[in-house]
């Protein structure tokens, strides 16, 4: 098992794995993103639970990971935690509108977003491993 020198490396690694999985899900099943957004749009309970998980998870990332000005990966991790908290609050407050906007943004270009997620996931994983070596 890899030994991460700090929390930023571990967060980058697992965020990269998640981005890869999410990207491959759309590449494997066309329309996956649109179906996911539609389910969130029409299920207030699911939006609420997702918002709670986002707020708690994002707050944990934000509070545990220190902001280190000389470390871009640590700065990214802290900013990611704050963004996840903001997304969780938006899920609860204006979730149906957010999902409708998401469906318009994804549209029929789900494959493009999927390739972007796969590329971003690879970048995050490589960034985490280059700091481990």
- pLDDT 10s digits, 80-108: 999 999 999 999 999 888 888 888 888 87
Stated pTM of the model: 0.84
Report the C-alpha gap between 129 and 65 in whole angstroms: 18
Q: Are 34 and 78 in contact (CB under 8 A)?
A: no
Q: Decide if pLDDT at 2 tops 80.
A: no
- The pLDDT assigned to 84 comes to 97
- Confidence category of residue 18, pLDDT binned at 50, 70, 90: very high
Report the C-alpha gap between 30 and 32 in whole angstroms: 6
């Amino acid at each position: 098992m890899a030994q991460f020198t700090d929390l930023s490396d571990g967060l980058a690694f697992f965020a990269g794995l998640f981005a890869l999985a999410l990207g491959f899900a759309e590449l494997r099943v066309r329309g996956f993103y649109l179906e996911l957004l539609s389910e969130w749009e029409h299920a207030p309970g699911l939006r609420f639970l997702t918002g709670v998980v986002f707020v708690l998870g994002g707050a944990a990332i934000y509070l545990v990971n220190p902001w280190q000005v000389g470390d871009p990966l640590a700065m990214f991790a802290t900013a990611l935690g704050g963004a996840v908290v903001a997304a969780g609050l938006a899920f609860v407050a204006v979730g149906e509108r957010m999902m409708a906007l998401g469906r318009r943004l994804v549209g029929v270009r789900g494959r493009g977003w999927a390739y972007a997620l796969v590329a971003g996931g690879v970048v995050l994983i490589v960034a985490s491993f280059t700091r481990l070596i």
